[in-house]
A and B are shown apart, each in its own frame.
Chain A
Amino acid sequence: MLSLRNLHACYGQAHILADVSLDVGAGEVVVLLGRNGAGKSTTLKSIMGLLPPHSGEIHFDGARIDGKAPHDIARLGLGYVPEDRRIFTDLTVEENLEVGRQAERAKTPLWTPERVFALFPNLAEMRHRSAAQMSGGEQQMLAIARTLMGNPRLLLLDEPSEGLAPVIIAQMARSIGELKSQGLTVLLSEQNLHFASQVADRAYVLEKGRIRYQGAITELANDPDARRAYLSV
């Protein structure tokens, strides 16, 4: 469904991604693991067109998307939830959802505020509240909900567990599981292997901008050498 081929990306002089290739199949949940600065966020930003890649190709559903503008990529059915959530704190919860709303897409279930609130019941209670008055966990849920309102077919989640309390992380894992069961494809980045192994089918491990490991998440979880080499601090 999504494939990256020999992707290179740079910030000015700094070469962040080198020759990254990866694939995400329909209905899969795939996790990008790696330490801080490994290039996980950059990979997701490149896919979304927020940081146009230096070279390489990105295909989504058979169409080449690298070089397209972010809003065009979003309209093709890629939903992006950024690392720092980037909630519109001047807007209410409902208004945040409105910004994310897009027209219905063929062969994709339509998300409405009611459906979103069913997935994240906490949000329903604060729909008229200013987003500035929400906790980190609630903001993370709102960020995902807002992106779902665009009826994506593939969700890019940048470190959804970062900075959240364990009980919220567990809730987040359940929500991602539910999205998967509804047929949504997910590519997420993570540092938290425990969280990743709860939600993901397959994993890629990034180190210094290169893919070092790929395989089923269960294999990685049971491979202490690989864990030590790429993930331990």
Chain B
Amino acid sequence: MTFSSIVLQFINGLAGTSSLFLVAAGLSLIFGVTRIVNFAHGSFYMLGLYVAYSAIGFFGTTILGFWGGIVAAALVIGVLGAVIEILVLRRIYQAPELFQLLATFAVVLVIKDAALGIWGPEDLLGPRAPGLRDAVTILGGNVPQYDLALIVIGPLVLAALWLLLNRTRFGILIRAATQDREMVAALGVNQKHLFTAVFFLGSLLAGLGGAVQIPREPAQLFLDIAVIADAFVVVVVGGLGSIPGAFLAAFIISVVKAFCIGIGDVTILGFDVSFSKLTLVVEFVIMAIVLVVRPWGLLGRPQGQQRGAGMLSQPLPQIGRRFLLIAGSIVVLLALLPALGDRYLLVLLIDILIFALFAASLHFLIGPAGMVSFGHAAYFGLGAYGAALLLKQAGLPMELALLLAPLVAGAGALLFGWFAVRLSGVYLAMLTLAFAQIVWSIAFQWDAFTGGSNGMVGIWPAEWLSSRTVFFYLTLIVCLGAVAGLWRILYSPFGYAMRAGRDSPLRAEAIGIDVRSVQWFAFAIAGLFAGIAGALFAFSKGSISPDLLGIPRSVDALVMVLLGGVQTLVGPVVGAAIFTWLQDEIARATEYWRAILGLVILLLVIAFPQGIAGFAGRLLARRRSAQS
């Protein structure tokens, strides 16, 4: 690389910093004050692009029209954020943090379909900025003028935010509430107004971050999830709640990415290394390194012990005779279903069973082990890919591939878990997301081995398992057996140690439990069981694709667990059944199934903050206490 190309890549990175910083700063502010991990933040960014596109189209492509359109878009998104806070989140501040997460994810679904409905599925590329359409020559290379404008915008907003936070009453209240919001309320500050205002500000920044990208990047529907992952990484690398940290992290990540693209494909020590392909992973690698070296981020401060993301954990119920009786009858009923001869029902049931196991394995991790994972699909996908690769690349018989594939997932979980258990709370969740994204990127890009974005086809079960009915029985036996095995572990000495470590790490260590090892092992178990589900899934569909590992699938599992109720044993199974069935039903009825699903989730979250099974359990308990 020459000196001039180094400088040019550096400028490129600086230009990318601004937008990333704007989004991350908004996310950080919202999390700091409201303690909500706002999944919908990426959707605000995406909407910022779309609204800017329309607003500039409306105002006309003059200098005033362009910048006026960008400001208008930011304001519209700010107001939208405030409205969502008032309509949805305000009702669930008392609910466990994970439920708030679920609600924001439902908002993601609704916004995605709203954007699809309003702007259609085509990518929309905005006009170039009037007056900044040309490029300047720096050291022999061309740099777009607009990039230079972006380089100025980021630090300007950073300075404005610094002034706001340090020189105004509103900013001082934000910082105070970030530390102790209850005390702020006891001093006479109306929290509702503060929260709404912070949501307005944070959403405005996300909208602005999207809007300023309009000349550089088309408005696209997949941006919501892509951007939220980026923003998580920036916030975590910079340190939760630190605005300068967010800027520093955005800068580092953008510059490293720019250099990866700039270096391109090179040969190092005889190996062909494609740096440009690394861009998808590199930010997650940076995050993983930072979190292991400095678990609270570059400029963040160490936080107190966070555990289970603020959940009140209750003892698990004892499995009684009645429970076994009911569970047994359901199994018998399921076993009789193939007699109906409804092929479609069997396909749906196989899906439900597989996802019930997947959800149960995530519940094992979130509930009893107290570790929230945003990236559990990594292990589901590793199981699926393991099965496919063992079958196709290693040429093993299907039975052996099915048997060994979960070990692939378990090994992955063992590796990633070693890093993950060093963290807790939101940081742990973000790291799991990062690992899932790394696995996804590898599967997505390694065309020769994994089939790249196309995935692999022809992964069919062995001859004797090829009929739907037989495969259904295989799934029934394996999934129910695995779920029962997971439950059995919860009531073993290991399960007690795990739950003790969640409830009070200090006391658990004082009585001789090696909490970190227990958590590590629990992480691996959860991964292994997710792998079983993944391997079955691969054989039930006959094909695999990187989607299996994606963030949306991880979130699906979270939704199943939380929908069913994280405090209960059967919750995840119930949640998986309802979610899979609902998704199937709605997807057949309308193109806008995501919006419907999102609205259903929102309704459920607001109506049943304990989850469906949790709600039913409390209803039962109330009836029982009323009888006695």
Decide yes or no: A91 and B176 within 8 Å by CB, A50-B182, A82-B183, A98-B169 being known contacts. yes
> A71, A91, A96 — which one has the most chain B CB atoms within 10 A of its CB?
A71
The answer to whether B123 has its CB under 8 Å from any CB of chain A is: no
Which chain A residues lie closer than 8 Å to B190 at the CB level? 69, 71
Q: Which residues 163-208 of B sit at the A interface, judged by CB distance below 8 A?
A: 169, 172-173, 175-176, 178-180, 182-191
A88 touches B180 (CB 8 A): yes
Annotate A45-68 by CB proximity to B: 1 below 8 A, 0 otherwise: 000101000000000000000000
A70 touches B179 (CB 8 A): no
The answer to whether A147 has its CB under 8 Å from any CB of chain B is: yes
In the bound complex, what is the Cα–Cα distance between A71 and B546 (angstroms)? 50
In the bound complex, what is the Cα–Cα distance between A70 and B185 (angstroms)? 6
A89's nearest neighbour on chain B, judged by CB, is B179
B188's nearest neighbour on chain A, judged by CB, is A74
In the bound complex, what is the Cα–Cα distance between A46 and B180 (angstroms)? 18
B187 touches A100 (CB 8 A): yes
Which chain B residues lie closer than 8 Å to A90 at the CB level? 175-176, 178-179
Contact of A71 among B175, B180, B185 (CB under 8 A): B185
A76's nearest neighbour on chain B, judged by CB, is B188
Which chain B residues lie closer than 8 Å to A146 at the CB level? 187
A99 touches B189 (CB 8 A): yes
In the bound complex, what is the Cα–Cα distance between A96 and B173 (angstroms)? 9
Which chain A residues lie closer than 8 Å to B173 at the CB level? 99
The answer to whether A80 has its CB under 8 Å from any CB of chain B is: yes
Decide yes or no: A147 and B169 within 8 Å by CB, A50-B182, A88-B175, A90-B179 being known contacts. no
Which chain A residues lie closer than 8 Å to B182 at the CB level? 50, 70
B186 touches A82 (CB 8 A): yes
A217 to chain B, nearest CB (A): 27
In the bound complex, what is the Cα–Cα distance between A75 and B185 (angstroms)? 10
Decide yes or no: A99 and B176 within 8 Å by CB, A80-B186, A82-B186 being known contacts. yes
A91 touches B172 (CB 8 A): yes
B176 touches A150 (CB 8 A): no
B169's nearest neighbour on chain A, judged by CB, is A98
Contact of B188 among A75, A86, A98 (CB under 8 A): A75
In the bound complex, what is the Cα–Cα distance between A96 and B188 (angstroms)? 13
Which chain A residues lie closer than 8 Å to B185 at the CB level? 69-71, 74
A107 to chain B, nearest CB (A): 17
In the bound complex, what is the Cα–Cα distance between A71 and B189 (angstroms)? 5
Which chain A residues lie closer than 8 Å to B183 at the CB level? 82, 86, 88
In the bound complex, what is the Cα–Cα distance between A75 and B190 (angstroms)? 10
Annotate B102-128 by CB proximity to A: 1 below 8 A, 0 otherwise: 000000000000000000000000000
Q: What range describes how many residues of A lie at the interface?
A: 20 to 34
The answer to whether A28 has its CB under 8 Å from any CB of chain B is: no
B186 touches A48 (CB 8 A): yes
In the bound complex, what is the Cα–Cα distance between A104 and B190 (angstroms)? 17
Q: Which residues 93-141 of A sit at the B interface, judged by CB distance below 8 A?
A: 95-96, 98-102
B93 to chain A, nearest CB (A): 12
B190's nearest neighbour on chain A, judged by CB, is A71
B193 to chain A, nearest CB (A): 9
In the bound complex, what is the Cα–Cα distance between A69 and B189 (angstroms)? 10
Decide yes or no: A98 and B172 within 8 Å by CB, A86-B180, A88-B179, A88-B180 being known contacts. yes
A96's nearest neighbour on chain B, judged by CB, is B176
B175 touches A150 (CB 8 A): no
Contact of B176 among A50, A80, A88, A147 (CB under 8 A): A88
A204 to chain B, nearest CB (A): 22
> A70, A74, A99, A146 — which one has the most chain B CB atoms within 10 A of its CB?
A99
In the bound complex, what is the Cα–Cα distance between A95 and B165 (angstroms)? 11
In the bound complex, what is the Cα–Cα distance between A100 and B185 (angstroms)? 10
In the bound complex, what is the Cα–Cα distance between A89 and B191 (angstroms)? 20
In the bound complex, what is the Cα–Cα distance between A80 and B186 (angstroms)? 7
Which chain B residues lie closer than 8 Å to A75 at the CB level? 188
Which chain B residues lie closer than 8 Å to A99 at the CB level? 172-173, 176, 184, 187, 189
Annotate B287-324 by CB proximity to A: 1 below 8 A, 0 otherwise: 00000000000000000000000000000000000000
Which chain B residues lie closer than 8 Å to A96 at the CB level? 176
In the bound complex, what is the Cα–Cα distance between A111 and B183 (angstroms)? 19
In the bound complex, what is the Cα–Cα distance between A102 and B182 (angstroms)? 17
In the bound complex, what is the Cα–Cα distance between A150 and B191 (angstroms)? 16
Contact of A150 among B172, B178, B179, B187 (CB under 8 A): B187
A53 to chain B, nearest CB (A): 16
Which chain B residues lie closer than 8 Å to A98 at the CB level? 169, 172
Which chain B residues lie closer than 8 Å to A150 at the CB level? 187-188
Which chain A residues lie closer than 8 Å to B179 at the CB level? 88-91
A88 to chain B, nearest CB (A): 5
In the bound complex, what is the Cα–Cα distance between A70 and B179 (angstroms)? 17
B170 to chain A, nearest CB (A): 11
> B169, B176, B184, B186 — which one has the most chain A CB atoms within 10 A of its CB?
B186
B187 touches A74 (CB 8 A): yes
A149's nearest neighbour on chain B, judged by CB, is B187
Which chain B residues lie closer than 8 Å to A89 at the CB level? 179
In the bound complex, what is the Cα–Cα distance between A143 and B561 (angstroms)? 43
In the bound complex, what is the Cα–Cα distance between A82 and B182 (angstroms)? 11
In the bound complex, what is the Cα–Cα distance between A26 and B184 (angstroms)? 26
Which chain A residues lie closer than 8 Å to B172 at the CB level? 91, 95, 98-99
Which chain A residues lie closer than 8 Å to B191 at the CB level? 71
Contact of B187 among A69, A91, A147 (CB under 8 A): A147
A143's nearest neighbour on chain B, judged by CB, is B183
Decide yes or no: A102 and B188 within 8 Å by CB, A86-B180, A88-B179, A91-B172 being known contacts. yes
In the bound complex, what is the Cα–Cα distance between A50 and B185 (angstroms)? 9
Which chain A residues lie closer than 8 Å to B175 at the CB level? 88, 90-91, 95
> B172, B185, B187 — which one has the most chain A CB atoms within 10 A of its CB?
B187
> B169, B183, B185, B189 — which one has the most chain A CB atoms within 10 A of its CB?
B183
B144 to chain A, nearest CB (A): 40
Q: Which residues 438-454 of B sit at the A interface, judged by CB distance below 8 A?
A: none
In the bound complex, what is the Cα–Cα distance between A208 and B540 (angstroms)? 63
Which chain A residues lie closer than 8 Å to B187 at the CB level? 71, 74, 80, 99-100, 102, 146-147, 150
In the bound complex, what is the Cα–Cα distance between A48 and B182 (angstroms)? 11
A202 to chain B, nearest CB (A): 25
Annotate A142-178 by CB proximity to B: 1 below 8 A, 0 otherwise: 0000110010000000000000000000000000000
Which chain B residues lie closer than 8 Å to A95 at the CB level? 172, 175-176
Annotate B490-528 by CB proximity to A: 1 below 8 A, 0 otherwise: 000000000000000000000000000000000000000
B314 to chain A, nearest CB (A): 10
B311 to chain A, nearest CB (A): 14
In the bound complex, what is the Cα–Cα distance between A147 and B186 (angstroms)? 9
Extra pairs beyond A88-B175, A90-B175, A98-B169 (16, CB < 8 Å): A48-B186, A50-B186, A70-B185, A71-B185, A71-B188, A80-B187, A86-B183, A88-B176, A89-B179, A90-B176, A90-B179, A91-B179, A96-B176, A99-B176, A99-B187, A100-B188
A-B contacts, 25 of them at CB < 8 A, read A69-B185, A69-B190, A70-B182, A70-B185, A71-B186, A71-B187, A71-B189, A71-B190, A74-B186, A75-B188, A80-B186, A82-B183, A88-B183, A90-B175, A90-B178, A91-B172, A91-B179, A95-B175, A96-B176, A98-B172, A99-B173, A99-B176, A99-B184, A99-B187, A99-B189
List of 10 A-B pairs having minimum Cβ-Cβ separation, nearest first: A74-B188, A70-B185, A86-B183, A99-B176, A88-B176, A100-B187, A71-B185, A75-B188, A102-B188, A70-B186
